[in-house]
């Protein structure tokens, strides 16, 4: 799958040097510098990527292979996946950093009126949000959150909670408004829901279409486009019955087609064709999806069928207890076949995103809408306006008629806070800078709350095969200061597990995170694993093998506890599960289980010994240089980058030097890594701007991203 993607984005056969060395730019008057954009031989590059993957992910690969084939015992599957993730953590290919949330915030939006489920896109759907006319006090927010918890325990519906919130707010001096204004930091790069897995795209697009099912504000899975569904006794077939009268409209609200079951087939095929990083999520899940991507099956053989205009049927490869939780993600979004074709869209071997005349998803006017909102105005790096879709099936059930996004480039550290206070936007997180401002008066004491961390895992990636030394879209942007020799040495070092562990253990993440959220909450959002340790738990006793010893875990054991057991057995000094965390309930967040300068030094000495065998001497006089790009236009991110540099260089006693490579703006920073299409375009040694949020309620939603062909491998410089 990933190979097909790489082939698709290259226009010609190019040449790549496959050794550790990289090309040099010849200049006799200065040190040799690495070529910024060396030519790439596709076949050789893929072979090199595979070799690196096998070497650096070998133990994870073997352990995960055992986990994914376990389909009959869910608890055993979880245990085996935890063991596999332990191997992933031990490899040090990335350092878990923070979850989304865990910061102070102020807002006019009532708590939990947006779905807070841990997976999928529904937490970005805003049609249920209830917005007050003024900031909600901390006292009132706490009262509503307490009632939410009570209603949740009583299995109430989200609509009942929303009714309670309206009554509470209006009886406590608030009015309810029908608009919602929020800030955003990055423009959508496409409006095609089925061709992207980037949050900068999906967070906007999710408000333009509806799914078959949807989570409500109490996190109940409720009917949306489908009014009902059936599951076969063998768990292989899911049949969804669509509502009558569903329609597609254009950005101006004009009807373009009826929404039919066939549009789910069209959407699924386009998702597979587009290879936007979504297709791997359904391979091995939906029958023959893998074979279609490999070119050995037709769409007629894939397990998605429209048996009539109002019935869509999915057939799975094997029972997947989590399948319904996948429906909130854009992989199962419908697409108007007729509208797509009117924009030059084709299917199968005829699909070509670069074809002349193909405009689907290029702008907000080049998609059809079946959701609660249409994008009626969009100005890049300025404003996005979502207006109520009068043809939406549940138009009378939404709580806001207009959503407006206001751009914030991050150059003014207190802009979001200032915009809240001046009434431009309805809420914001408090950075270290704005926190100080809020505390100068009564705002903080009256209105602040702590945003609950969610299951999105931001991580610090290590580039295992650095190839580009300038941004993919502009070879004059974020140019590495390293010489050719320094570049070669760094590539060798990052392919050493002990060097990577030294980097991970050498970072004081509390100080590092404090630059963003302030010292008081610096630990709250820290994570220590890719999959949250309490994401799933065993429902029955399970015995699995840990280093040759049969080890029993009882029902109720959390995923993170099993992960920690394997790590302890392997003797790697990291803590991904702390029984004392979360007030004694145990957890994998809220503390730094990696940082230990002594452990970092010990790992570095092992790396130095290994590198010496390759003829590479490392010392304070001859250090390894690594590049960290950052947004120099932002005071917050500048401080964060400096905290990284200071911590690593102090912990590793100057034997590793961090080059801070400053981007002039947010977009330049994004193009160094987040917006890359292939691993060779990754312009960094360490990258701290990206992460992953789960798409469904199974650990494989995380681990599949770094399995062979996984979407996040490009962030590690391979595939």
Q: Do 372 and 387 contact (CB within 8 A), yes or no?
A: no
Q: Do 474 and 411 reside in the same domain of the chain?
A: no
pLDDT in tens, 247-279: 999 999 999 999 999 999 999 999 999 999 899
Q: 413, 447, 481: which is the final residue of a domain?
A: 447
Q: Would you state the pLDDT for residue 29?
A: 55
Nearest to 209 by CA among 364, 384, 358, 359: 364
Q: Do 178 and 228 reside in the same domain of the chain?
A: yes
Residue 453 DSSP class: P
Give the C-alpha distances (Å, rounded to integers) separating 161 from 36, 118, 145: 55, 19, 10
Q: 447, 476, 496: which is the final residue of a domain?
A: 447
Q: Do 145 and 196 reside in the same domain of the chain?
A: yes
Domain annotation covers residue 565? no
Q: Do 292 and 388 reside in the same domain of the chain?
A: yes
In three-state secondary structure terms, 370 is coil
Q: Do 47 and 194 reside in the same domain of the chain?
A: no
Domain annotation covers residue 195? yes
pLDDT in tens, 362-413: 999 999 999 999 999 999 999 999 999 999 999 999 999 999 999 999 999 9
Q: Do 396 and 469 reside in the same domain of the chain?
A: no
pLDDT in tens, 315-368: 999 999 899 999 989 999 999 999 999 999 999 999 999 999 999 999 999 999
Q: Would you state the pLDDT for residue 277?
A: 86
pLDDT in tens, 225-234: 999 999 999 9
The CATH number that applies at residue 222 is: 3.40.190.10
Residue 137 DSSP class: P
Domain annotation covers residue 12? yes
Q: Do 179 and 30 reside in the same domain of the chain?
A: no
Domain annotation covers residue 369? yes
Q: Do 436 and 496 reside in the same domain of the chain?
A: no
Domain annotation covers residue 535? no
Q: Do 313 and 199 reside in the same domain of the chain?
A: yes
Using a pLDDT cut of 70, give the percent of the chain over it.
96
Q: Do 466 and 442 reside in the same domain of the chain?
A: no
3-state per-residue secondary structure call for 150-182: HHHHCCCCHHHHHHHHHHHHHHCCCCEECEEEE
Domain annotation covers residue 325? yes
Q: Do 172 and 291 reside in the same domain of the chain?
A: yes
Domain annotation covers residue 95? no
pLDDT at position 664 over 60: yes
pLDDT in tens, 665-718: 999 999 999 999 999 999 999 999 999 999 899 999 999 999 998 999 999 999
Q: Considering its fold, how many domains does the chain have in total?
A: 2
Q: pLDDT class for 211, splitting at 50, 70, 90?
A: very high
Mean pLDDT along residues 427-455: 95
Q: 400, 416, 447: which is the final residue of a domain?
A: 447
Q: pLDDT class for 623, splitting at 50, 70, 90?
A: very high
Q: Do 120 and 13 reside in the same domain of the chain?
A: no
Mean pLDDT along residues 145-169: 97
Among 21-25, 120-124, 131-135, 505-509, name the one with the lowest average pLDDT: 21-25
Q: In the chain, what's the furthest Cα-to-Cα distance?
A: 78
pTM of the shown model:
0.85
Q: What is the residue-averaged pLDDT of the chain?
A: 94
Domain annotation covers residue 348? yes
Contacts of 10 by beta carbon, 8 Å cutoff, 6+ apart: 40, 42
Among 2-6, 300-304, 518-522, name the one with the lowest average pLDDT: 2-6
Nearest to 700 by CA among 237, 50, 64, 58: 64
Give the C-alpha distances (Å, rounded to integers) separating 351 from 321, 340, 360, 368, 627: 33, 12, 12, 19, 38
Give the C-alpha distances (Å, rounded to integers) separating 291 from 287, 300, 331, 549, 709: 9, 12, 17, 38, 14
| E-assigned strand segments in 340-416 | 373-379, 383-388, 402-407
Q: Would you state the pLDDT for residue 618?
A: 99
Residue 452 DSSP class: P
3-state per-residue secondary structure call for 535-565: CCECCCCEEEEECCEEEEECCCCEHHHHHHH
Mean pLDDT along residues 504-519: 97
Determine the structural domain holding residue 372 and report its residue range: 104-447
686 forms beta bridges with: 462
């Amino acid at each position: 799958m990933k190979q097909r993607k790489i082939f698709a984005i290259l226009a010609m056969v190019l040449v790549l040097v496959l050794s550790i060395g990289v090309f040099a730019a010849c200049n006799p008057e200065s040190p040799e510098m690495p070529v910024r954009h060396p030519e790439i031989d596709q076949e050789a590059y893929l072979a090199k990527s595979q070799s690196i993957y096998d070497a650096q992910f070998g133990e994870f690969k073997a352990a995960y292979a055992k986990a994914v084939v376990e389909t009959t015992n869910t608890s055993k599957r979880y245990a085996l996946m935890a063991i596999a993730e332990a191997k992933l953590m031990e490899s040090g290919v990335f350092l878990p950093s923070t979850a989304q949330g865990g910061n102070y915030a102020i807002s006019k939006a009532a708590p939990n009126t947006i779905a807070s489920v841990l997976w999928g896109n529904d937490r970005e759907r805003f049609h249920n949000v209830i917005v007050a006319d003024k900031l909600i006090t901390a006292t009132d927010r706490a009262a509503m959150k307490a009632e939410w918890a009570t209603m949740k325990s009583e299995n109430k519906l989200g609509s009942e909670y929303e009714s309670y919130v309206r009554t509470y707010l209006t009886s406590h001096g608030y009015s309810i408004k029908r608009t919602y204004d929020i800030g955003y930091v990055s423009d959508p790069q496409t409006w095609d829901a089925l061709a992207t897995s980037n949050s900068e795209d999906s967070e906007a697009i999710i408000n333009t279409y509806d799914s078959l099912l949807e989570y409500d504000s109490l996190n109940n899975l409720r009917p949306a486009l489908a009014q009902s569904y059936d599951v076969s006794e063998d768990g292989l077939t899911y049949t969804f019955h669509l509502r009558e009268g569903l329609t597609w409209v254009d950005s101006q609200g004009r009807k373009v087609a009826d929404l039919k079951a066939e549009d789910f087939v069209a959407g699924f095929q386009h998702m597979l064709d587009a290879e936007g990083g979504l297709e791997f999520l359904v391979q091995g899940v939906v029958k023959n999806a893998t074979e279609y991507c490999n070119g050995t099956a037709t769409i007629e053989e894939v397990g998605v069928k429209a048996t009539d205009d109002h019935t869509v049927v999915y057939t799975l490869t094997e029972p997947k207890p989590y399948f319904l939780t996948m429906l909130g993600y854009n992989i199962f979004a419908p697409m108007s076949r007729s509208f797509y074709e009117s924009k030059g869209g084709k299917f199968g071997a005829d699909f070509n995103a670069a074809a002349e005349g193909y405009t689907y998803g290029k702008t907000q006017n080049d998609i059809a809408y079946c959701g609660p909102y249409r994008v009626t105005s969009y100005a890049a790096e300025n404003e996005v306006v979502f207006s109520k879709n009068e043809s939406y099936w549940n138009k009378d059930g939404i709580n806001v008629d207009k959503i407006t996004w206001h751009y914030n480039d991050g150059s003014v550290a207190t802009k979001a806070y200032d915009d809240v206070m001046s009434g431009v936007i309805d809420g914001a997180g408090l950075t270290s800078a704005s926190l100080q401002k809020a505390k100068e008066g009564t705002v903080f004491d009256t209105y602040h709350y702590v945003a609950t961390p969610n299951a999105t895992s931001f991580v610090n990636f290590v580039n295992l095969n650095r190839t580009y030394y300038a941004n993919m879209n502009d070879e004059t942007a974020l140019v590495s200061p390293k010489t050719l020799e320094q570049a070669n040495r760094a590539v060798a070092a990052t392919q050493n597990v002990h060097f990577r562990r030294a980097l991970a253990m050498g970072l004081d993440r509390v100080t590092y995170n404090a630059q963003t959220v302030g010292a008081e909450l610096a630990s709250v959002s820290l994570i220590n694993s890719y999959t949250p340790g309490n994401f799933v738990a065993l429902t029955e006793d399970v015995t699995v093998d840990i280093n040759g010893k049969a080890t029993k875990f009882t029902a109720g054991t959390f995923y993170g506890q099993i992960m920690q057991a394997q790590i302890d057995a392997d003797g790697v000094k990291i803590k991904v599960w702390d029984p004392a965390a979360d007030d004694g309930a145990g957890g994998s967040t809220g503390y730094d289980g990696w940082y230990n300068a002594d452990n970092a030094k010990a790992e570095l000495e092992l790396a130095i010994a290994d590198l010496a065998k390759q003829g590479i001497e490392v010392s304070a006089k001859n250090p390894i240089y690594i590049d960290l790009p950052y947004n120099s236009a932002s005071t917050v991110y500048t401080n964060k980058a400096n905290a990284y540099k200071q911590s690593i260089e102090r912990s590793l006693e100057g034997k590793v030097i961090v080059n801070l490579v400053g981007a002039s703006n947010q977009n330049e920073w994004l193009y160094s890594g987040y917006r890359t299409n292939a691993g060779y375009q990754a312009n960094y040694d360490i990258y701290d701007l990206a992460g992953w949020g789960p798409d469904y309620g199974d650990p494989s939603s995380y681990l599949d991203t770094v399995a062979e062909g996984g979407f996040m491998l490009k962030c590690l410089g391979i595939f």
